[in-house]
């Protein structure tokens, strides 16, 4: 009884040791120690060592001893491989061998151990039985034919490094996904919809495979038709600017656009972009966003998508809308009256500015302002929501604010000629009243008193945002007045195009 209790304590201690090492492996981010087979060997030893000889027939004892010795040998082999190959490889002591070669080596060693144990403990000559039985050899050979194909194909795939775990591959017939594991007999893929796909290695070797990294990059081509009267240089500029503003498009390699073909009613362009997501779902999302944002960009430039219509007479152009976003002159005049920057202007001055302004629309996700760019327009949010994004010291973008209807942004770059201090991106479809610097010149040029009043309003807004002291606020106000007088004053000795912007 004392011996059984001692063996039980030893088994519990060994099991606790295995679990402790496994927890430490998880914390240190190294391969976890094998648990199932060593635990099975421990508890099998405890059970067999606790059985009295009276309960076990003499003829069964060699078989039980063989089973115990095999389980202990297999467990020791697993632990040895973990100690000598997996752990040192994870900490870069020496290169980790290919997984399939490691598994093959373990299989060979396990086979040798099995033959030796059966021959010594159970007194079975396994080699002799296999080599002297022609029928058994033929049966084994036929049964193992496909398995051997998978085995050798797996070895070649691993040695040739056709793909690795974590890669995204497409094997044709709609079979694609991330490589989860490459074993001796099969390859497992994680499909984009979550399904686990298991393919024999022989099929993987005989199939044409397209391999991508875990996160791309992958080139995407989008073809679309634009108006014949839209100059190609202008069209390609619009397409590339839209692509650069999309967060799913990589900046390196840069997006490119060029004329692809002439259609009977339009010019076909090809927009080539790069993205990280190599899946078809990722491409569908990117293509949908780009096509929607291109529509809005074309509208802001007074363009529409062409229709394949044939006419025998020149097409009657519709009268130009007062504003593409649906806000006519009285509506824009009313919006200017609500603007805190222009509320002090009289009716005559507002009527001078309103015809020069316009309302524009942006799609969800489009960049309205980019940090660091030069700006000559301010915006009043008429409909929708936007987010203000600031680059941190480590280069990561951070959303610092969200703005709603009535918010005004971009005025500092217009009045001080400084670069944009933050980026602004549309959260949903937005309508913005755009007031450019040149729209204000007819009212502000030659009117220094009005310039001072406007500078005072801009400085007060800035002081409220960043809590400036009265002295600093006054100094910045004086500096802003000086800059605005330079920008909006009539310049002598030069053309209007030479004014600072």
For residues 157 and 205, is the Cβ–Cβ distance under 8 A?
yes
**369 and 422, same domain (yes or no):** yes
Total Cβ atoms within 10 A of residue 288: 10
**68 and 166, same domain (yes or no):** no
| Domain-ending residue, one of 212, 238, 257 | 212
| Domain-ending residue, one of 109, 143, 177 | 143
Asked, for residue 293, whether it belongs to a domain, the answer is: yes
At residue 8 the predicted structure's pLDDT band, cuts being 50, 70 and 90, is confident
**Residue 263 predicted with pLDDT over 70:** yes
At residue 70 the predicted structure's pLDDT band, cuts being 50, 70 and 90, is confident
Pick from 311, 338, 312: nearest CA to 327:
338
Total Cβ atoms within 10 A of residue 165: 13
Which residues are within 8 A (CB) of 228 and not within 5 positions of it... i.e. 6 or more apart? 265, 266, 267, 306
For residues 409 and 416, is the Cβ–Cβ distance under 8 A?
no
Poorest-pLDDT segment among 40-49, 111-120, 270-279: 111-120
Q: 191: domain range?
A: 153-212
Q: What is the pLDDT of residue 267?
A: 94
Q: What is the pLDDT of residue 156?
A: 64
**Residue 4 predicted with pLDDT over 90:** no
- Identify the CATH number of the domain in which residue 268 sits: 3.30.70.100
Query: Cα dist. 296→89, 302, 319, 431 in Å?
Result: 53, 10, 20, 11
**Residue 220 predicted with pLDDT over 70:** yes
319 three-class SS = coil
**Residue 137 predicted with pLDDT over 60:** no
**52 and 81, same domain (yes or no):** yes
Asked, for residue 443, whether it belongs to a domain, the answer is: yes
- Identify the CATH number of the domain in which residue 157 sits: 2.30.30.60
Q: Name the residue with tokens 């390859």.
A: 187
307 three-class SS = coil
- Identify the CATH number of the domain in which residue 363 sits: 2.60.120.10
Asked, for residue 322, whether it belongs to a domain, the answer is: no
Please count the structural domains in the chain.
4
**β-pair type (210-212, 168-170):** antiparallel
Q: What is the mean pLDDT of residues 271-277?
A: 91
**464 and 398, same domain (yes or no):** yes
* Higher pLDDT among residues 208 and 371, named by residue: 371
At residue 418 the predicted structure's pLDDT band, cuts being 50, 70 and 90, is confident
**Residue 459 predicted with pLDDT over 50:** yes
At residue 500 the predicted structure's pLDDT band, cuts being 50, 70 and 90, is very low
For residues 299 and 226, is the Cβ–Cβ distance under 8 A?
no
388 three-class SS = strand
Asked, for residue 319, whether it belongs to a domain, the answer is: no
Instruction: Give me the phi and psi of 361, to 5 degrees please.
Output: -115, 145
**Residue 499 predicted with pLDDT over 50:** no
Structure tokens at 256: 């490119």
**441 and 369, same domain (yes or no):** yes
Q: What is the pLDDT of residue 486?
A: 59
Q: What is the pLDDT of residue 389?
A: 93
| Domain-ending residue, one of 176, 194, 212 | 212
Pick from 296, 308, 234: nearest CA to 269:
234
Q: What is the mean pLDDT of residues 15-30?
A: 83
Total Cβ atoms within 10 A of residue 353: 21
Q: What is the pLDDT of residue 387?
A: 95
């Amino acid at each position: 009884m004392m011996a059984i209790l001692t063996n039980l304590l030893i088994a519990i201690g060994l099991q606790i040791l295995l679990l402790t090492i496994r927890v430490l492996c998880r914390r240190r981010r190294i391969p976890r120690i094998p648990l199932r087979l060593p635990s099975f060997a421990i508890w099998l030893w405890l059970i067999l060592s606790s059985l009295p000889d009276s309960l076990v027939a003499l003829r069964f004892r060699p078989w039980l001893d063989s089973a115990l010795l095999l389980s202990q040998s297999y467990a020791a082999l697993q632990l040895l491989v973990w100690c000598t190959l997996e752990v040192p490889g994870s900490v870069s002591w020496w290169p980790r061998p290919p997984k399939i070669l490691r598994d093959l080596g373990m299989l060979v060693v396990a086979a040798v151990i099995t033959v030796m144990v059966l021959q010594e403990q159970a007194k079975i000559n396994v080699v002799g039985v296999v080599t002297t039985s022609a029928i058994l050899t033929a049966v084994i050979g036929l049964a193992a034919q496909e398995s051997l194909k998978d085995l050798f194909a797996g070895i070649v795939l691993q040695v040739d490094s056709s793909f690795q775990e974590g890669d995204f591959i497409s094997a044709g017939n709609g079979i694609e996904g991330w490589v989860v594991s490459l074993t001796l007999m099969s390859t497992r893929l994680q499909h984009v919809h979550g399904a686990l796909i298991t393919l024999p290695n022989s099929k993987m070797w005989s199939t044409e495979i397209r391999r991508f990294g875990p996160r791309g990059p992958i080139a995407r081509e989008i073809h679309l038709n634009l108006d014949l009267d839209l100059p190609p240089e202008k069209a390609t500029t619009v397409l590339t600017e839209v692509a650069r503003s999309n967060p799913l498009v990589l900046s390196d390699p840069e997006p490119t656009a060029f004329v692809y073909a002439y259609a009977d009613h339009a010019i076909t362009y090809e927009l080539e972009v790069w993205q990280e997501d190599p899946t078809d779902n990722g491409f569908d999302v990117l293509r949908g966003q780009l096509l929607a944002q291109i529509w809005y960009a074309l509208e802001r430039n007074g363009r529409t998508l062409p229709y394949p219509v044939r006419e025998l007479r020149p097409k009657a152009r519709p009268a130009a809308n007062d504003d593409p976003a649906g806000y006519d002159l009285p509506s824009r005049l009313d919006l200017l009256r609500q603007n805190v920057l222009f509320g002090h202007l009289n009716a005559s001055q507002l009527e001078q500015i309103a015809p020069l302004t316009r309302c524009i629309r942006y799609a969800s996700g489009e960049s309205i302002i980019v940090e660091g760019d030069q700006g000559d327009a301010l915006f009043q949010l008429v409909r929708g929501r936007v987010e203000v994004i600031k680059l941190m010291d480590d280069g990561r973008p951070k959303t610092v604010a969200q703005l709603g209807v009535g918010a005004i942004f971009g005025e500092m770059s217009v009045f001080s000629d400084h670069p944009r201090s933050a980026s602004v991106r549309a959260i949903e479809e937005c309508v913005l009243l755009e007031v450019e610097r040149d729209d204000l010149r007819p009212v502000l040029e030659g009117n220094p008193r009005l310039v001072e009043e406007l500078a005072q309003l801009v400085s007060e807004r800035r002081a409220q945002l960043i809590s400036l002291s009265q002295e600093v606020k006054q100094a910045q106000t004086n500096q802003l007045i000086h800059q605005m007088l330079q920008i909006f004053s009539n310049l002598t000795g030069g053309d209007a195009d030479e004014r600072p912007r």
